[in-house]
Structure 1
Amino acid sequence: MTQTTLQLTQSKDVKFGTSGVRGLVSDLTDEVVYGFAYAFLTAVVDKPSTVVLGHDLRDSSPSIASACAKAAEDLGVDVDYVGALPTPAIAYYAGVSGFPAIVVTGSHIPFDRNGIKFYTASGEITKADEQAINHAPVTLPARLSTELPLANTAAYDAYCQRYVDCYAGCLDGRTVAIYQHSSVGRDLFADLFQRLGASVLALGRTDQFVPIDTEAVSREDHERAKVWASEYDFDVLFSTDGDADRPLIGDAKGQWLRGDRLGVLCAKALGADAVVTPVSSNSVVSESGAFDRVERTKIGSPYVIEGMQALTSGYQSVVGYEANGGFLTASAIKIDGKDLAPLATRDAVLPLLAVMRECREKACSVADLDAQLPAIFTASDRVKGVVPERGQAFIDLMARLPFELAETLSLGELIATDLTDGCRLTFEDNVIVHFRQSGNAPELRCYSEARSVERAAEVNAQALAFAVGQL
């Protein structure tokens, strides 16, 4: 019987989010996974000779990858299995090899969920590609999975060499503490940073999956970082989410940097002319005055990539970043006379290396570099268990009637409303409250912005409490 992936998922919690397919592990059955992989390999990349396949460290990921491999096998497509690796490493290797890629990962979302990301040889799939996958015909065979082969190490090597070529010695004499938890890149990072001259301190390793969200760092991880800073002497603290495409960087005192401020620091260090970032990112990107062009988009890497591509003909150096810190490059970047090839998917390593190289050149610390940016700060958190219908109804209410929120939180005059993605409300004294329904999980996100860390956190907590009362 022939079905589309939409039909295969009709009664399941599986759909495309801001970046790839996401769903409950219990709903990501072999039939559903096979269907998505088959549809991608027929409707988007037209039965290529080879597909690169890899995954993160979630317990469910290898079995999902085996169903993807079976779809490729049935289509006569060779599988270049690269094992458990960072998503950007897999995407980079696929791009330089000229092959599409499938990456099984749930990124930062809860352990009971997982997902699949798809890449053509030129990068992430588009929203149009998602629709093609959703509507492609799929005929399911009797057997829906196959044994995965031994992992090819070529992707690991290529990703590390990308940075060794351009950033050799940039970490000489530095101590990098790595909060390893269950990040798929934990061993690669230690190896790479040592090759670049660093002494590496491995902390917090666990075999139990930890859903680190770099946009909403938990209270426990804030405290953990400060404890480590009191116990150890390091120059920078580095971590990522589960699939290692979103960085989490802390200074020598264990203070985590917001991803959207980190993105500005990285873009400045790279000498970018044009920057593309979602509407949820901190306004410091505009107020810094460091860039010729700043473009705001809907939230999600496909929108950032689309925005970057639109600017490449007019600007020499075009980059992008998301509020989670994931950094993308649409242009080749000159680093000490060498070209860092474009990588138009989120990457966690480049922000660390660019910032640490800048610190070396300016003889300053990470905290010093961050302090040079305008004093605009963001706090973010979420209300879990909010289904899209409820979340969207609340967002629509805020767009129509924001005055109750303003009165309850004593925010003063409403200056502007931005409906690019969710509802972003700007009040007097540069206070911003932005509500948005997550595309990856059933939760309502809230981003708040103010002129101090304390005020941003206060507004965020009050705005979330207000949302809970309305929901």
Structure 2
Amino acid sequence: MASDSAQDARLDAVVGAYDVRGVVGEGLTDEVVEALAAAFVDEVDAAGSPVVVGHDMRDSSPGFAEAFARGATARGADVISIGLCSTDESYYASGSLDAPAAMFTASHNPARYNGIKFSRAGAEAMSKATGLSAIRDRAATYLAEGIPAVATPGTVDSRDVLTDYASYLRSLVPLDGIRPLTIVVDAGNGMGGLTVPAVLETAAGLPALPLTIIPLYFELDGTFPNHEANPLEPKNLVDLQKAVVEHGADLGLAFDGDADRCFVVDEKGDAVTPSAIAAIVAVREIARARRDAPDAEISVIHNLITSRIVPETIEAAGATPVRTKVGHSLIKDEMRRTGAVFGGEHSAHYYFRDFWSADNGMLAAMHVLAEFGTQPAPLSEFASEYSPYAASGEINSTVADVAAAFARVVEAFAGRADFDELDGLTVTGNPGVDDDFWWFSVRPSNTEPLLRLNAEASTRAQMEAIRDEVLALIRA
């Protein structure tokens, strides 16, 4: 069998580095989904075995899940449909059932998009380098020539895993002993509207916790009528910040569309950085690992644009920080390779060894509640220990000639800094050359003509000076 160039191009438009994503009815159609499903079953050798399929609240998601089931069963897989779920709930199903999984979501993207996040059995990540390219190629063949049915087609069975998922998270992070907390939660009309009541309240039949939840936008609505379900954008946190202050709440939580990322704001309505959250959770996971195995070597992963406080906190807690490139599937692979107990990213993805090395925003939030809820200080004071430095946040610049921009940066900082090229270019000030510590990272986008700048320094004035100098070089 062989694909044709038209089908190759069609799939290249939706198969990215780490998942499938495209505009519904254009790049992503029922026909494309069926072909991808059949190809996925072949890639993971699932004929005669179970495959988990879940989906978010987007209008197109139920139909795509059904199309996936048709393609998967045609190639002999037995589909376990878990219905509406968060992405980390689909990882739970994949891990607990030891079955490959497909999750229909476009995460934080606007309503016209949808996509698929694939996992091998045990919630193991897939990327272009570890299976997605092969799925794309085989799906192109199936689009061109049709999907050949096997002698024994698979079956479809429905299963509800929400209560088991909630129970498992509570077993990892008990919250029954913390002080009473009032929390505003912005679900953004995404899947947090389903999982928060199950995990943090009593909707799944679990005992009540000492938490009072004030809900914002818990109605599942894939048109996102209130704001985009992307808390990484400051404009999408405004409603939460206002509500926390108005209600006198202890803190606020914001989830993205598929609820695998969680952002935190303090009692003043100010955002707590994902790096601070990563440091807080790292301390807890290191301590737990140390209790279980006092003499074990413990490592924690952080990507190269998290704050310097993250590796400092990991080392102070007696573990080894492992610095990685940016990338969802890459970090999952590194978690498994190193046996790291935890991993944190600047984008609010948090990975846990005890959650099959997959990411789970709800679990990160529970760790924060557990740690914060056992001490008396307000969150602004408690979190300040983990936010001692000044950061720029990610700044994107359109650049026609990336190599020339890199050359200008290297020339300007030669003799003043150390350079490394783990992921783009990271430049770190030499001790003794500048009074204050500083570093910055410049990384090219994989999909757009952009350079992404992140800078950090020990003082805001130093950070702003470095930020402005580098931006002028990039945009020259």
TM-score scaled to structure 1, two decimals? 0.82
Query: Does 2:350 match 1:348?
Result: no
Give 1:68 deviation, angstroms. Answer: 1.6
Change (3 A) 1:168 1:356: closer
- Map of 2:135 onto structure 1: 133
Q: Distance in 2 between matches of 1:14 and 1:328?
A: 26
Post-superposition offset of 1:452: 4.4
Counterpart residue number, 2:422: 420
1:287 aligned onto 2:312: yes
- The equivalent residue for 2:32 is 32
Q: Deviations over 1:246-267 (max 9, x none)?
A: 1111111111111122111111
The answer to whether the 8 Å contact 1:5/1:133 transfers is: no
Structure 1 pair 441–402 and aligned structure 2 pair: CA distance change class (3 A): closer
Over residues 52-93 of structure 1, what are the superposed CA-to-partner deviations in whole Å (9 max), with x where a residue is unaligned?
111222333333323222211211222222222110111111
2:118 is the alignment partner of 1:103:
no
Q: Which runs of 5+ in 1 are unaligned?
A: 331-340, 407-411
1:180-199, aligned counterparts within 5 Å? 180-194=187-201, 195-199=208-212
- Look up the match of 1:158: 164
Match of 2:323 in 1: 296
Q: Give the one of 241, 251, 273 matched to 1:236.
A: 251
Q: Distance in 1 between matches of 2:111 and 2:448?
A: 11
Residues 139/301 of structure 1: CA separation in 2 closer, same or farther (3 Å cut): same
The SS at the match of 1:323 is coil
Contact 1:55 1:85 in 2 (8 A): yes
Q: Could you say which residue in structure 2 is the equivalent of 1:275?
A: 300
Query: Per the alignment, do residues 149 and 222 of structure 1 end up closer, same or farther by CA in structure 2, a change over 3 Å counting?
Result: same
- Assess, with a 3 A threshold, how the Cα gap between structure 1 residues 70 and 303 changes in structure 2: closer, same or farther: same
Aligned-partner Cα distance in 1 for 2:455–2:274 = 14
Shift of 1:366: 2.6
Distance of 2:240 and 2:462 partners within structure 1: 22
Q: CA deviation at 1:46?
A: 3.7
Q: Which moved more, 1:86-95 or 1:355-364?
A: 355-364
Cα distance change on mapping 1:234 and 1:441 into 2, 3 Å: farther
| Structure 2 letter corresponding to 1:320 | G
Amino acid in structure 1 at the alignment position of 2:251: V
Residue 28 of structure 1 aligns to a residue in which SS?
coil
Alignment deviations for residues 156-181 of structure 1 (CA, whole Å, 9 cap, x no partner):
11210112334141555211110121
Aligned in 2, Cα 1:274/1:142: closer, same or farther, shift over 3 Å? Answer: closer
| Unaligned runs of at least 5 residues, structure 2 | 149-154, 202-207, 290-297
Q: 1:56 to 1:380 in 2, by over 3 A?
A: farther
Aligned to 2:372: 359
Match for residue 60 of structure 1? 60
1:456–1:83 distance in 2 versus 1, CA, 3 Å: farther
Amino acid at match of 1:125: M
2:178–2:374 contact (8 Å) kept in structure 1: no
Q: Which residue of 2 aligns with 1:338?
A: none
Show the counterpart of 1:319: 342
CA contact (8 A) 1:239 1:248 kept: yes
Structure 2 distance, partners of 1:342, 1:55, is 20
Distance 1:99 1:244, change over 3 A: same
Tell me the secondary structure at the aligned position of residue 3 of structure 2: strand
How far 1:405 sits from its partner (Å)?
7.0
SS at match of 1:82: strand
Shift of 1:446: 2.8
For 1:218-257, what aligned pairs fall within 5 Å after superposition? 218=234, 220-257=235-272
Between Structure 1 and Structure 2, the one with more strand by share is 1
Counterparts of 2:216 and 2:460, CA distance in 1: 27
Q: What's the counterpart of residue 292 of structure 2?
A: none
Cα pair distance change 1:153/1:464, threshold 3 Å: farther
Aligned counterparts of 2:239 and 2:364: Cα–Cα separation in 1 = 22
What do residues 169-211 of structure 1 show as CA deviations (whole Å, max 9, x unaligned)? 1555211110121221223203321243311101245633244
Q: Equivalent residue of 1:361, what SS?
A: coil
Letter in 2 for 1:329: F
1:124-163 Cα shifts (integer Å, max 9, x gaps) = 225322233233364247799xxx9896322x11210112
SS in 2 for 1:191: helix
Matched with 1:334 is none
Q: Is the 8 A contact 1:222 1:255 kept in 2?
A: no
Does the Cα contact within 8 Å between 1:44 and 1:133 map onto a contact in 2? no
Q: 1:305-355 CA distances to partner (integer Å, 9 max, x unpaired)? A: 22222322xxxx62112211221122xxxxxxxxxx433211101121112
In structure 1, distance between residues paired with 2:164 and 2:184: 24
Q: What RMSD, in angstroms, separates the aligned Cα atoms of the two structures? A: 3.3
- The CA distance in 2 between the partners of 1:168 and 1:21, in whole Å, is 36
1:258 and 2:265 matched: no
The percentage of aligned residue pairs carrying the same residue is 24
SS of 1:122's equivalent in the other structure is helix
CA distance 1:318–1:298, shift in 2 (3 Å)? same
- 1:424-449 deviation digits (Å, cap 9, x = unpaired): 22344333332324457775433222
* Code of the aligned partner of 1:364: A
Aligned length: 437
Q: TM-score scaled to structure 2, two decimals? A: 0.81
Equivalent position of 2:233 in the other structure: 217
